[in-house]
Structure 1
Amino acid sequence: MKKIYLFFLFVLFKSTCQAQNNLLLNGGFEDVNVCTEYSAECGVEAWFYLKDVKAQMLSNDDTTGKNGTNSFGIFYNWRGDTEFSPLIGTLLPCKLQAGKAYIFKGLISAKLNPKLLFVPGICMGPFFYVPRRKFALDMHVDSVTNIRPVPNSLFYQMEYRFIAKGDEKYLTFGTYVTEDTVGGKKKLTGVQTVSVVFDNFQLLPADSNITCCPAFEQNKKTIYNYNFRHRDMDYSLFGRGYLDIKFNLPPDSLELQVQKKTPPPLSVIIDTLRLDDVLFDFNKSVLKPDAEKILSQYFLIDTNSIIDSMYVEGHTDAMGSDSSNMVLGKQRSEQVKWWLINHQIAPESNIHTQSFGKARPIATNKTPEGRTKNRRVEIIIFRRRK
């Protein structure tokens, strides 16, 4: 049986930064990076790490206190070094204001030998922090001591406040690990594995009236377009402390803004139209006549609104390889996009496509019924009243 799933949502049309003042990109680790070296998912967008750690995306089974579907896992070997160990870092899309207060927040969970003591750490500065490198000698690393457990969860909420110098370009997050030898405890021998999971990282101005810079969205695109996640990235971070990412915009566009008190913007209607797998030829991207009929009927429903933009997302089940699923999801979303263009529903510049492959299931992949639900194309339509 063919089904259409239609959802209506009324929202204020604002950017994420404007709504939450979060100055970090992808702090929830939802956007996944497809790296240049392997043309496969190799990490998360906007966050970087050295070769000494292993990164892994994790599904959120424990949803207490978290947003979204992903967490970011890091695994590394501890060999007795008690100094700050950098794990991940990000390039800031906006310039922090010198002399102003900022708050870093996030969720963290760690697994390690109970004889080891674990403390999170952070470094804000002009470079990605790497111990004992010349460019990092004048950078200040600090421990994050304001930590409290999240009820009914394995996570802890952490918070760190600081005054910006104005030269901060990178946030480097890491850990201090030391051995607990109190009471004559025997020292550990050999390599110890440390597992850390992050979620909901935020960097907020203490003044809630401060919001993101005009270049926030453009710089986000520039940072997301950096797709090295292995040797090339590791060389840049370790050898120089920065990545080859340049913001080709005027310097004043990086300055944070004071939020103006303006009337609420007009509400935008967001519709989601879901096309099931049965509306495509088997394992292909060709639209069946029933699908074209559904699309034609749907876009004649509302003549009192104007379509601002559309996002066409292709999804698959977990069967087959990751690469083939990404390709099929992309082909199906592109097929729908060209139908919309050919029928003058919206211009090409207003229609955006993306394939998520198997990354965003809406049902279990363990049953035929669940896999059928996961094979779909979702069209997210942003409308405004005439």
Structure 2
Amino acid sequence: MLLNKLMPLGIPLAWLNLIKEKKRFFAAVAGITFAVTMMMFQMGLNSALFKQVVGPHAEMAADIFMVSSQYEYLGVSKGFPLRRLVQAEGEPGVAQTVPLYVGSLPMLNTANRSTREVFIMAWDPAVQAFDDEEIESQRWKLKREGVALYDRLSRPELGPFVQEVDETGEAVTEVANRRMAIEGLFSISPTFVADGNMLTSADTFLPLWPGGDPSVVSLGLIRLEPGTDPAAVVAGLTDYLPDDVRVYTRQAFLDYEMQYWRERTPIGFVITASMAVALIVGAVIVYQILYTDVNDHLEEYATLKSIGFRDSYFTSVILQESVILSVFGFIPGTLFTWVLFYFTRQIAHMATYLSLLNCAIIFGLTLFMCLTAGALATRKLRHANPAEIF
């Protein structure tokens, strides 16, 4: 019954109208494909960027994080007294605390003798600080002073260390003009803070860090006993400890870090603006195609209107064309995005993947874009007088 109402002539008029001018049809599909690709790529890039910025945090073996009250983000991690972690160990439910020291230091690229900043995270390798199995299996190497593990996903501009470790098992460089032996690899990926990551022991890192003091901690990792409520422990520590530290549950800390980059950098605005531009461009292209289609068939529509067809029928035809265009543009747009995501993962080492949620959102935006353009394109037809047309 519904199908008969939508197509009373018994033929898919919307489809026939579109394919009558094949060049125009493919131009419309190409425009929508561009809009879909741009929107979906920007959305995937946005998700990947903010996942990447908390890449190191997500690998840390902690249920609760302790930071300085002046903490901004991991790359600018102002320290707090080590005794705050010692005090936290007295809180019911706390199983272990691990002080972490972080900072960026210049590292020598042995291939071209240039230097670039590498982000270093250091702790006592006698205890676990990361949940990553690759790091956990190699942390014993860090017990020797001057030994480090290196992120294989670091940008190649830092040096050929990944290839050297793969081939010989070791790469030698200089960090802050001190010899450093890289004896293992792990995978976290670069962040906004630095182009690459390195892990060392606190005994190796602190002499390199200006004014390095083991009693001043950059980040405190707190692990809880099984079954303990993290929110309750955070509340207890917040009431108990002085105001020179802040305490977060794991998820709250990750959210805080991502929120910092969303608010303090133009990344979120740029990506949103790019999606808006793609939406507008796509809508304009669809509007022009459908408006031209209405003009080309105005006499036929007027004939049908004169014998009793209502405006709602013509509107439904144009909106059907809008839906067809959105589907035909969405499919290749998704495929192109998948290809772009693949190359982005290979070249930039960013976790860009298609997700059902993102696909659903982009299809909804595409459908909205096409239907809006279609509705605007029918204005001339709705106000047309058959007598005037003939």
Q: TM-score range by the shorter chain?
A: under 0.3
Which structure shows the bigger proportion of residues in strand conformation?
Answer: 1
Radius of gyration: which is bigger? 2
Which structure shows the bigger proportion of residues in helix conformation?
Answer: 2
Higher relative contact order (CA 8 A, sep 6+): 2
TM value normalised by structure 1: 0.23
